[in-house]
């Protein structure tokens, strides 16, 4: 059975190798994501971004994931020209995100949706998109698709958390997000992507369009 879904955007996140960045871009990814959080098992240092992202197709946008980082650190990384979007993955208050936005930074915010009150909060959060993720990003655990669908009716949402090539079509049908955000679902080990799984993801999605 083919689901009637609109074309969504795809982000491959937690990239640590140039070959995986090229595989994601070559398969059709709209966004490539890099985790700039030192405690993460997918961490990359800001000084590696130029090497990882050089000469990508113009349509592929580069997302840097930060968690409770000093504002000046984020702005310095953005100023270096290696990022198009900043994704906040910590406990950043709306005022913090607004400060970035006021400086011309495109901001996404990760959200762990647990109750309907969270939907109300993030519907008003000053970010271009909300990344509806599981409680622990990159864990492979599913986020709440029901709450994500509620938020997607009010805000642009990237659905993350436990998305795989196999369940991506169902996720699109159930949530109708602006896009999907995958890390562990297309990996062999943390930070090491599988070209086969990335290709499978795009094949499964195209079969439903």
Q: What is the DSSP string of 14-49?
A: S---HHHHHHHHHHT-SEEEEE--TTSTTB--GGGH
Residue 98's nearest CA partner among 133, 63, 124, 65 is 124
Return the higher-pLDDT residue of 137 and 98: 98
Q: Which tens digits make up the pLDDT trace of 137-151?
A: 555 677 899 999 999
Q: Which tens digits make up the pLDDT trace of 45-65?
A: 999 999 999 999 999 999 999
pLDDT at residue 177 in the model = 97
pLDDT at residue 209 in the model = 64
How confident is the model over 65-73, as a mean pLDDT?
97
Q: Token pair 């993350």 is at which residue? A: 160
CB 202 within 8 A of CB 28: yes
pLDDT at residue 139 in the model = 53
How confident is the model over 12-17, as a mean pLDDT?
98
Q: Which tens digits make up the pLDDT trace of 113-132?
A: 999 999 999 999 999 999 99
pLDDT above 50 (res 171)? yes
- % of the chain residues with pLDDT over 90: 87
The listed CATH number (3.40.50.720, 3.20.20.70, 3.20.20.80, 1.10.443.10) that belongs to domain 9-208: 3.20.20.70
Q: Which tens digits make up the pLDDT trace of 152-167?
A: 999 999 999 999 999 9
Other C-beta atoms lying within 10 Å of the C-beta of residue 37: 18
- The catalytic site residues sit at 13, 133
pLDDT at residue 16 in the model = 98
Structure tokens at 192: 């090491």
pLDDT above 50 (res 79)? yes
CB 204 within 8 A of CB 33: no
DSSP code for 127: S
Residue 167 to residue 176: CA distance in whole angstroms: 13
Structure tokens at 176: 């109708």
DSSP code for 42: T
How confident is the model over 171-192, as a mean pLDDT?
96
pLDDT above 60 (res 3)? no
Structure tokens at 187: 């990996």
Q: Which 3 state secondary structure label does DSSP give 114?
A: coil
pLDDT tier for residue 89 given thresholds of 50, 70 and 90: very high
Averaged confidence pLDDT in the chain: 92
pLDDT at residue 31 in the model = 98
pLDDT above 60 (res 85)? yes
pLDDT at residue 143 in the model = 82
């Amino acid at each position: 059975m083919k689901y009637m879904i609109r074309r969504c955007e795809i982000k491959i996140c937690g990239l640590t190798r140039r070959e995986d960045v090229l595989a994601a871009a070559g398969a059709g990814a709209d966004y490539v994501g890099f985790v700039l959080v030192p405690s993460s098992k997918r961490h990359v240092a800001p000084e590696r971004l130029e090497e990882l992202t050089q000469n990508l197709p113009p349509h592929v946008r580069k997302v840097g994931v930060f968690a409770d980082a000093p504002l000046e650190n984020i702005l310095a990384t953005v100023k270096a020209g290696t990022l198009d979007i900043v994704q906040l993955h910590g406990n950043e208050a709306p005022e913090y995100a607004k400060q970035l936005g006021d400086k011309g930074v495109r901001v996404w915010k990760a959200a762990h949706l647990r109750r309907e009150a969270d939907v109300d909060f993030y519907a008003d959060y000053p970010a271009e998109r909300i990344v509806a993720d599981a409680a622990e990003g990159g864990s492979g655990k599913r986020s709440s698709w029901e709450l994500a669908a509620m938020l997607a009716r009010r805000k642009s949402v990237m659905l993350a958390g436990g998305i795989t090539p196999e369940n991506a079509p169902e996720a699109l049908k159930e949530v109708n997000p602006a896009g999907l955000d995958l890390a562990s679902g297309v990996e062999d080990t943390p930070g090491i992507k599988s070209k086969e799984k990335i290709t499978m993801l795009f094949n499964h999605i195209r079969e439903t369009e």
